[in-house]
Amino acid sequence: MRAEAAPSFFLNDSPYPIREGVLEAYRELWQRFSQPGDSWSGAQRLAIAQETRDARNCDLCIRRKQQLSPYGLDESHVLTETGELIGATAVDSIHRIVTDPARLSRRMVEDARSSGLSDEQIVEMIGVACVTMAVDEHYRALGLDLEPLPEPVPGPPSGRRLSEDRLEVGTAYVPMLARDGAVGEEADLWSGRRTAIHILRALSLIPDALRDLTILSNEQYLTLEEAPAFALQPKGRAIDRLQMELLATRVSQVNECFY
């Protein structure tokens, strides 16, 4: 695995002024990624992050994207040492998420389940991949080299699972915490609110994955308090809310994201 010691100087070489809040959030996320999660070890979580990066240069993904159907090519990824840590189906899912988001379907999740991945593993994998991509895309948009991944912290995943009676099944491809389910140890997840919209609940099967997302969103986009208040300008930002939403819309259009 290509990994280096946890960096203490994120974006220090940037020619642009990076807000300290962004730096702190990214440092915290890298540290969290290196730790064992609920269903993947630290080494496996970093393998997910590495595959997220490698997908962009994957020959099979490039050829697959040119096919009429996303499943039109009967070929598999050749696993690297990193890929071996998480298995062929996880690698395939991550590559699809990164390179062909406009054609993601239930089949990706069903294939992952059929290969033996648990719903918790699938959700945690999606969370790590999406957060890695968000940080990397920030760097790429600024023309900066990507931050090296940290060294993994040894240890097994916690195996922590939410009880089934707290979950909502069928709304999305993966189970989510019920709308009013942010109670007890998960009371912080909706930021003190009683309920939450789908995008916030998507990763809630793995509460720490949602916490990763919140750390990231607070700095890259908006806090949970700011998001519904369209008329208010976010504090400490150099662009206004309208400009933020225009950018969001354009990215979503390019990715053909209906949501």
Instruction: Report how far residue 130's alpha carbon sits from residue 98's, in angstroms, rounded to the nearest whole number.
Output: 8
In the complex, the smallest distance separating the C-beta of residue 155 from another protein, rounded to whole angstroms, is: 27
Indicate which single residue of 65, 113, 138, 211 sits in contact with another protein (rule: CB under 8 A).
138
Among candidate residues 121, 67, 63, the one with its CA nearest the CA of residue 94: 121
x/- letters, 94..123, toward another protein (CB under 8 A)? ---xx--xxxxxx-xx-------------x
Query: To 10 degrees, the CA torsion angle through 133, 178, 110, 66?
Result: -40
CB of 154 to another protein, least distance (A): 28
Supply the minimum distance, in Å, between the C-beta of residue 50 and another protein.
17
| CA separation for the pair 107, 144 (Å, rounded) | 35
Which residues are CB-contacts of 173 (< 8 A; sequence separation ≥ 6)? 106, 109
How many angstroms separate the most distant Cα atoms in the chain?
Answer: 51
Binding part of the chain for another protein, among 41-49, 77-85, 157-165, 239-247 by CB under 8 A, reads 239-247
In whole angstroms, how close is the CB of 83 to another protein at the nearest point?
18
Size of the site for another protein (CB under 8 A): 78
Among 133, 149, 178, 206, indicate the residue that binds another protein (CB under 8 A). 133
Q: Does residue 162 belong to the site contacting another protein (CB under 8 A)?
A: no
For residues 125 and 40, is the Cβ–Cβ distance under 8 A? yes
Task: Assess 216 for contact with another protein (CB under 8 A).
Answer: yes
Mark residues 167-206: x for contact with another protein by CB under 8 A, - for none.
----xxxx----x----------xx-xxxxxxxx-xx---
User: Which span sits near another protein by CB under 8 A: 41-49, 145-153, 158-166, 238-246?
Assistant: 238-246
Buried residues in 190-201 as b, exposed as e (16+ CB within 10 A): beeeeebeeebb
Query: 183, 194 in Cβ contact below 8 A?
Result: no
